[in-house]
């Protein structure tokens, strides 16, 4: 069976929309303002006009003229394809960082290490318990291991706040939620298999990789120095999902226990745009907070490009969803480009909300209006026939109600309430503009400078298996609120290489910050590993 989903363009008339109060309405504005013009650099149309999506035997893909360059020519359509594929593969059962990088790892089995070690070729009994200390793909087992339930923080009282920093919560509500979220990173089988077989699950393995690169360089074996680079297979995929506990969702009025007609909602949810829910019991670790969790955002990536293909998803009712940088989608949802007076942004871009600074008698500056809900009734967002047909062909959101709020399922209708925030597939545009992408919660506090590519490019290790770059994309610049801004644009050679030799000061681990979870097989008293292998075995890609 093959279903073709053709690219579709919708045109909207401003007369069809009511001017919203406190949102896109601006005082007597008829001409574009400077801030709207600056959105030129956030609203580039990503997809080629010929991009099409097809579904063949339950497998979505880019078809037609752009099939051979899907991730680069059709990044937005490709994001939805990847989103749909991850859902049908039930990404919530993939391996997570806690099972891929064990807290007390065993060494990798080799020709000389044959007992008390991890063997990636060992047969897997789905009914058995995984070997402690070895990387685990949770879906290999009949009953996947439980998800941890240790959020970044929980309210100490009935109110959730930044201990009096109410202004901050109003300006950037995503930051508050970031400080309280439960973030879980899921990785698929090909990605975990590469980590496992190349001993990238221990700090000894990371340190050995860097040392071997420099040894090859010093010996003049340039080819081997390149062979020791870390490059994940093209079918590697990672999904980073951000969840919030029910108590926080209720406190922040993102969900309610009572529908407008007075009926009870059990468990509580958004009656108009339900969130995806899951009951997370936890694994019994200290600090576990069992209960219902609600998925508010995702940041996902696939290795279809050398720098990976990145995209962010947000729930449509998140406050400030399109603040600062707007929301850009060339494929899945089409917006009313003239909903905001003064400019026409086309059908693929929802601009951040703005208002005029009326404190001045003339030349009023446009300012961001933050923390509002970008309701589709305001933005005009409507699903395209192409995405609707893809979801239908894959059975996504096909149920009329969520039959079991305790588990995530493919047919949960709540999938319809998530929107593409944007994609990122290069460090800069062809015109030299640094690209960026950030989700309201995932990058709360620094959305305006967030760049998935630049931050993750820094993921690297030194000769001791420690992170080669400190700060996870951090820069020296604080934001006006005091939060650290992050780096954008192309990486710097000085992050990874020292000239005058040269030498590899930090070996890149191919955009994977999961390295921060790696532990030593045998730790020394100085915090480093006792020893490091001299020549790691490199499994061909």
Closest CA to 8 of 421, 389, 398: 389
79-113 per-position pLDDT tens digit: 999 999 999 999 999 999 999 999 999 999 998 89
Flag whether pLDDT at 168 surpasses 70: no
264-303 per-position pLDDT tens digit: 999 999 999 999 999 999 988 888 999 999 999 999 999 9
Closest CA to 453 of 75, 121, 92: 75
Residues ≥6 apart with Cβ < 8 Å to 432: none
Flag whether pLDDT at 26 surpasses 90: no
How far is it, in rounded angstroms, from Cα 332 to Cα 51? 12
Longest dimension (CA), the chain: 80
Q: What's residue 155's pLDDT?
A: 59
Range of 510's domain? 97-136+199-232+444-541
Listed in sequence order, the DSSP H helices in 219-245 are 222-227
Q: What is the dihedral of CA 521, 112, 464, 132, to 10 degrees?
A: -20
pTM of the predicted protein model: 0.92
- Beta strand pairing status for 264-269 and 256-258? antiparallel
158 located within any domain = no
Domain count, the chain: 1
486 located within any domain = yes
333 located within any domain = no
Residues 514-531: what's their mean pLDDT? 95
Angle value at C-alpha 427, between 223 and 383, nearest 5 degrees: 125
Q: What's residue 8's pLDDT?
A: 41
Position 357 confidence tier, pLDDT thresholds 50, 70, 90: confident
Residue 536 or residue 312, greater confidence: 312
Report the 3 state secondary structure along 366-409: EEECCCCECCHHHHCCEECHHHHHHHHHHCCCCCCCCCCCCCCC
pLDDT over 70 for what percent of the chain?
91
Flag whether pLDDT at 24 surpasses 60: no
| DSSP character string of 327-345 | EE-SSSEE--TTSSTT---
Residues ≥6 apart with Cβ < 8 Å to 251: 155, 158, 159, 160
* E-state strands within 57-106: 59-63, 95-96
Closest CA to 452 of 299, 341, 283: 299
Closest CA to 177 of 274, 378, 317, 285: 317
128-167 per-position pLDDT tens digit: 999 899 999 999 999 999 999 999 877 555 445 544 455 6
3-state SS assignment for residue 516: helix
Residues 357-375: what's their mean pLDDT? 85
424-464 per-position pLDDT tens digit: 999 999 999 999 999 999 999 999 999 999 999 999 999 99
317 located within any domain = no
Mean pLDDT of the chain: 90
**Residue 319: Cβ within 10 Å count:** 22
Closest CA to 425 of 325, 305, 300, 303: 305
131 located within any domain = yes
Flag whether pLDDT at 68 surpasses 50: yes
491 located within any domain = yes
Residues 467-475: what's their mean pLDDT? 87
Residue 421 or residue 165, greater confidence: 421
- Residues 412, 287 contacting (CB under 8 angstroms): no
Q: What's residue 160's pLDDT?
A: 55
């Amino acid at each position: 069976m093959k279903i073709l989903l053709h690219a579709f363009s919708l045109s909207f008339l401003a007369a069809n929309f009511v001017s919203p109060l406190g949102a896109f309405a601006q005082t007597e504005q008829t001409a574009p303002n400077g801030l709207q013009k600056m959105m030129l650099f956030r609203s580039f149309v990503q997809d080629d006009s010929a991009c099409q999506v097809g579904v063949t035997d339950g497998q979505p893909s880019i078809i037609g003229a752009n099939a051979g360059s899907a991730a680069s020519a059709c990044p937005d359509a490709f994001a939805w394809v990847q989103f749909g594929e991850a859902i049908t593969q039930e990404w919530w059962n993939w391996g997570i960082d806690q099972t891929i990088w064990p807290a007390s790892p065993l060494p990798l089995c080799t020709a000389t290490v044959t007992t008390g070690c991890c063997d990636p070729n060992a047969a897997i009994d789905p009914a058995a318990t995984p070997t402690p200390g070895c990387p685990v793909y949770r879906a290999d087992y009949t009953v996947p291991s439980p998800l941890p339930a240790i959020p970044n923080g929980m309210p100490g009282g009935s109110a959730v706040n930044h201990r009096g920093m109410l202004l901050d919560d109003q300006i950037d509500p995503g930051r508050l939620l970031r400080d309280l979220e439960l973030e879980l990173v899921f990785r698929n089988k090909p990605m975990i298999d590469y980590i496992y077989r190349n001993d990238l699950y221990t700090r000894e393995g990371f340190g050995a990789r860097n040392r071997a690169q420099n040894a090859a360089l010093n010996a003049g074996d340039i080819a081997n120095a390149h062979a020791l680079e870390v490059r994940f297979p093209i079918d590697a995929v990672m999904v980073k999902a951000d969840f919030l506990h029910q108590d926080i969702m209720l406190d922040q009025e993102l969900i309610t226990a009572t529908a407008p007609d007075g009926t009870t909602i059990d468990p509580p949810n958004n009656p108009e745009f339900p969130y995806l829910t899951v009951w997370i019991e936890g694994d019994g670790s200290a600090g576990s907070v069992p209960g219902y969790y609600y998925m508010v955002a995702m940041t996902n990536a696939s290795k279809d490009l050398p720098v990976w293909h990145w995209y962010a998803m947000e729930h449509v009712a998140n406050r400030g969803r399109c603040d600062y940088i707007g929301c850009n989608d060339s494929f899945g949802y089409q917006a009313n480009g003239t909903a905001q007076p003064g400019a026409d942004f086309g059908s693929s871009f929802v601009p951040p909300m703005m208002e005029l600074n009326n404190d001045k008698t003339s030349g009023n500056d446009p300012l961001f209006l933050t923390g509002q809900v970008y309701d589709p009734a305001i933005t005009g967002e409507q699903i395209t026939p192409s995405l609707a047909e893809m979801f239908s062909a894959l059975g996504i959101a096909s149920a009329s109600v969520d039959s079991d709020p305790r588990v995530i399922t493919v047919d949960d209708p709540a999938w319809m309430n998530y929107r593409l925030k944007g994609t990122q597939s290069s460090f800069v545009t062809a015109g030299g503009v640094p690209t960026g992408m950030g989700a309201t919660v995932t990058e709360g506090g620094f959305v305006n400078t967030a760049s998935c590519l630049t931050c993750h490019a820094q993921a690297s290790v030194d000769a001791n298996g420690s992170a080669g770059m400190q700060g996870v994309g951090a820069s020296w610049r604080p934001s006006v609120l005091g939060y650290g801004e992050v780096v954008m644009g192309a990486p710097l050679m000085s992050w990874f290489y020292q000239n005058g030799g040269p030498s590899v000061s930090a070996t890149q681990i191919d955009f994977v910050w999961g390295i921060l979870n790696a532990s030593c097989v045998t730790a020394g008293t100085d915090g480093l590993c006792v020893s490091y292998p001299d020549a790691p075995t490199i499994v061909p890609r």
